[in-house]
Amino acid sequence: MGDVTAEVTDLLRHLIRNACVNDGARDSGHEVRSADVLASYLDGAGLDMERYEPAPGRTSLVARMEGRRPDAPTLLLMGHTDVVPVSPDRWRRDPFGAELVDGEVWGRGAIDMLNLTASMAVAVRRLAESGFRPDGTLIYLAVADEEALGTWGADHLTAHEPDAVRADYVITESGGIPVTGGDGALRLPVMVAEKGTCWMTLRVEGTPGHASQPYRTDNALVTAAEVVRRLSEHRPETRIHDTWRRFLAGMGLPDELTAPLLDPDRLIDSLADLPVSMARQFHACTHTTLAPTVARGGVKTNVIPDRVDLEVDVRTLPGQTFDDVRSLLDRALGDLADRVSIVEAHDDPSTASPVETPLWDTLGRVSRRFYDGSHLVPMLSVGATDARFFRRVGATAYGFGLFSRKLSFEDYGRMFHGDDERVDVESLRLSTELWTAVTQDLLAP
Ligand SMILES: [Zn+2]
């Protein structure tokens, strides 16, 4: 067998060049190209492979190594093959060129998450070729449509092909970026839960009229501007939840730093002193967030607008329901609440997996082989991943990976859906070896 680093680097570059850009439209993505590349890469290793294509071109690939004991646990390694669009003129290199420069692979998806999709495939193929026959079943899933709503990928598979993807344990993005704890030892965050997504369209109505006489008119755009201002200035209450408490406890920070972050009355003020990316993250972890993102309204320069639609991205905490979002909106809007109607809402509640599990123990044990003295810390992901579909059907799903020390937590966060996305080849090797070791630890006799 050749060199692992070269093999995973080469596969990642293929996936980047395929440019499976998902803009949310049904006819985007074209993940079939990467399903093809992965299927031919895995072919001949003795895995059972199956493709699923609920819409043309939206192909997911399942490769399976059947365990010897039906009562042993099943592990599913899941990587998505789609990527989000780019603004190419803001990049220093071709976002789909997959150039290898000074030990880094550049391109859309290098971090989110073709790096892991590639390293999982390499680990699975090498395990199969080595003759590894586990007690439990190993499934590799290269899934389409993660970057929209999972409609043609994980949502479809968990709902309509449950036998193909049923698993006790699922690992997907993101996590595993090494950060130094308060005591100097390394911490590796594991995404054990994620916030809910509630996307809504709010409508503000007014009364049309001639814009040459605006005095005392009922202008929907002017009302909408005030609605936007109130939404963005509203301060939802601080909620200290279990994952947050465990995260802070696990970071080994001094008490004077931790205490205000655990106090709902002091948390907001203490964020002011933190670097902005950390403050944003900590804020999102402990609050429902409201972000007005799209406004549509008005028909002509000389017409007083009678309708404005506002899209708002609301992210909910564990346990929150759509009714909670509704009353939050009412509080934020105050006396304007009855001027605003919800015309559309897509509510996808928060999900969580338990922390005390055999998978947790495996990840901790195995990670210490790569990072001596490291500890796992549970974390709430503020964005949504395909893990949510698997948690809802009963699997324990974590976001994890392993990265080199070259990548800082800040850079990592910035490159998600950002410009100049790239990953170092050492991180690719580390995550490949991680998947191999995790599989052996969890599934071997
Ligand atoms: Zn992703």
The CA 121 to ligand 1 mean position distance, Å, reads: 16
- Ligand 1 centroid – CA 86 distance (Å): 14
Neighbours of ion ligand 1 (CB under 5 A): 112-113, 173
| pLDDT at residue 1 in the model | 47
Cα 387 to Cα 379: distance, rounded to the nearest angstrom: 14
For the segment 285-295, the average pLDDT, to the nearest whole number, is 96
Span 98-137, pLDDT tens digits: 999 999 999 999 999 999 999 999 999 999 999 999 999 9
Cα 385 to ligand 1 centroid, rounded to whole Å: 7
Q: Cα(159) to centroid of ligand 1, in Å? A: 21
CA of 27 to the centre of ligand 1 (A): 19
Count of alpha carbons within 13 angstroms of residue 33, beta-carbon side: 14
Q: Residue 77 C-alpha to ligand 1 middle, in angstroms?
A: 14
Q: Whole-angstrom Cα distance, residue 12 to residue 125?
A: 15
How many angstroms separate the most distant Cα atoms in the chain? Answer: 81
- Ligand 1 centroid – CA 117 distance (Å): 10
Mean pLDDT to the nearest integer, 93-100: 98
CA 322 to ligand 1 center in whole angstroms: 25
Distance 142 CA to ligand 1 centre (A): 12
Distance 147 CA to ligand 1 centre (A): 7
| Residue whose token pair is 């997504």 | 197
Q: Is the pLDDT of residue 389 over 50?
A: yes
Distance 113 CA to ligand 1 centre (A): 5
Looking at residue 278, what is its pLDDT? 86
Tell me the per-residue pLDDT of 316-368, one tens digit each, with 9 for 90 and over.
999 999 999 999 999 999 999 999 999 999 999 999 999 999 999 999 999 99
Between the CA of 218 and the centroid of ligand 1 the distance, in Å, is 43
Ligand 1 centroid to Cα of residue 22, in Å, is: 11
| Ligand 1 center from residue 410 Cα (angstroms) | 17
Q: Residue 413: its pLDDT value, please? A: 80
> pLDDT tens digits for 366-385?
999 999 999 999 999 999 99
| Cβ pair 76, 390 in contact under 8 A | yes
For the full predicted model, state whether its pTM sits above 0.85. Answer: yes
State mean pLDDT over 2-24: 96
Q: Using the mean position of ligand 1's atoms as its centre, give its distance from the Cα of residue 14 in Å.
A: 17
394 Cα to the center of ligand 1, angstroms:
21
Q: Cα–Cα distances in Å, from 77 out to 140, 190, 290, 402, 416?
A: 5, 15, 32, 14, 20
CA–centroid distance, 351 to ligand 1, in Å, is: 17
Model pLDDT for residues 126-171, shown as the tens digit of each residue: 999 999 999 999 999 999 999 998 999 999 999 999 999 999 999 9
Q: How far is residue 282's CA from residue 380's CA, in Å, rounded to a whole number? A: 10
CA of 15 to the centre of ligand 1 (A): 14
Read off the pLDDT of residues 195-229 as tens digits, 9 standing for 90 and up: 999 999 999 999 999 999 999 999 999 999 999 99
Mean per-residue pLDDT for 419-442? 97
Mean pLDDT of the chain: 96
Q: From CA 247, how far away is CA 396, in angstroms rounded?
A: 18
